[in-house]
């Protein structure tokens, strides 16, 4: 291949460009009508009551931790196999991050590992769990909900990889990732390599009206001008006019622009087709690598994998990574375990703490996965991988 094949790539159409151009010609660039329209359409797609658009997925995580009351001394559990923001959001609020190991069959946070961690501490020691739908594989949030209720914990679902993903619980009920039926809050990302590209951008979903209203205030500095939310006038205060607003708590400017919302909403109109294409690409990889020295994760019946990433595991990961680069195939590694990052090692985490996560990291490689990947490009990737491993 003459042109590099990246592991992920956005797909921008003429309709997307027109949607953004319309905003540029209009009166609003920042807080305009496209934001509310995007929020409503996204909530309908996910199947939740409320959606709050924000600047990016990390901002979404940060605001969720604030709304859930994370502060100095709050202890939260998450997975080491994720982007660091899933843990950093707790640190932004002064909380303490605890990790639990992954399930080697799914690469997801292992509920048994979380249960074991909880058993080592008194009830009330931890406040919440941040499970991650890694690579697009949905976490069994029903099982985590039961565990969380047993220990009085909240759940924040990091669904950045999984819009459109779903799992079936033990009662046969299907739950879409982030639909608000099991976690207090869920978050999504609109980074260019994600299912919906808005340049940057994120979304928080919930079924909790109080959390929803709190998040709306937090994303705009902690300011409100809504009459029903304002404090009572103090004695001698001048008459309030239409200009009046209040800074009620310390928030952030984590707003999405109208331009980004228009792009995201345009992309949302074809998200089902892009989702189906990702699953087609995954099926071709599955068939090609079955019964070989290449380890793959194939979800069972009842799981709708969103396939943000397609991850294989091989013994000589570094060798394969370098070999693919000589073939213009830009495979990537997701992720270096968060507990091994220098920042988190200062808190006592060290190699050997989570053997499943570390074993996964030593062997994992993400192959190209995006809706516009052509069949010819995918065949070239498959042939190159097989050539290296001798499959």
What's the token pair of residue 17?
């460009």
Instruction: Based on the residue annotation, tell me whether 318 is a catalytic residue of this protein.
Output: no
Using CA atoms, how far apart are residues 336 and 346, in angstroms rounded to an integer? Answer: 16
Using CA atoms, how far apart are residues 388 and 198, in angstroms rounded to an integer? Answer: 36
- The answer to whether 357 touches 80, Cβ cutoff 8 Å, is yes
- Using only C-alpha atoms, what is the Rg of the chain? 22
Residue 213: C-alpha distances to residues 187, 208, 223 (Å): 16, 9, 12
Burial-class residue 100 by CB neighbours within 10 Å (0-12, 13-18, 19+). Answer: buried
Reference 161, options 329, 325, 278, 301; nearest CA is 278
Q: Which of 120, 123, 194, 213 is catalytic?
A: 194
- The answer to whether 322 touches 312, Cβ cutoff 8 Å, is no
Catalytic positions are 194
């Amino acid at each position: 291949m003459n042109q590099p094949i990246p592991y992920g790539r956005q797909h921008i159409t003429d309709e997307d460009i027109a949607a953004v151009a319309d905003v540029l010609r209009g009166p609003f660039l920042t807080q305009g009508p496209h934001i509310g329209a995007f929020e409503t359409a996204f909530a309908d797609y996910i199947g939740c009551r409320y959606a709050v658009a924000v600047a990016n997925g990390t901002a979404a995580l940060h605001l969720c931790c604030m709304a859930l009351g994370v502060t100095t001394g709050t202890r939260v559990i998450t997975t080491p196999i994720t982007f660091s923001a899933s843990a950093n959001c707790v640190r932004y609020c002064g909380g303490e991050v605890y990790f639990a190991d992954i399930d080697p069959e799914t690469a997801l946070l292992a509920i048994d590992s979380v249960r074991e961690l909880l058993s080592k501490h008194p009830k009330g020691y931890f406040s919440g769990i941040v499970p991650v739908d890694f690579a697009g594989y949905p976490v069994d949030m029903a099982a985590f909900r039961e565990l969380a209720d047993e220990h009085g914990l909240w759940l924040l679902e990091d669904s950045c990889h999984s819009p459109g993903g779903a799992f079936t619980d033990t009662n046969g009920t299907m739950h879409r990732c982030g639909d608000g039926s099991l976690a207090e809050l869920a978050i999504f990302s609109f980074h260019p390599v994600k299912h919906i590209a808005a340049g940057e951008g994120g979304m928080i979903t919930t079924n909790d009206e109080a959390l929803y209203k709190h998040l709306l205030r937090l994303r705009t500095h902690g300011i409100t001008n809504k009459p029903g939310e304002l404090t009572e006038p103090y004695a001698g205060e001048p008459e309030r006019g239409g200009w009046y607003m209040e800074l009620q708590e310390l928030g952030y400017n984590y707003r999405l622009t109208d331009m980004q919302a228009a792009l995201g909403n345009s992309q949302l109109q074809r998200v089902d087709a892009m989702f189906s294409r990702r699953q087609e690409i995954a099926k071709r990889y599955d068939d090609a690598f079955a019964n070989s020295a290449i380890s793959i994760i194939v979800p069972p019946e009842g799981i709708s994998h969103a396939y943000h990433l397609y991850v294989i595991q091989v013994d000589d990961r570094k060798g394969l990574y370098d070999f693919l680069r000589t073939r213009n195939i830009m495979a990537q590694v997701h992720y270096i375990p968060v507990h091994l990052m220098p920042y988190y090692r200062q808190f006592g985490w060290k190699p050997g703490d989570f053997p499943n996560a570390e074993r996964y990291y030593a062997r994992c490689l993400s192959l190209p996965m995006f809706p516009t990947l052509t069949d010819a490009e995918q065949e070239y990737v498959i042939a190159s991988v097989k050539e290296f491993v001798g499959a």
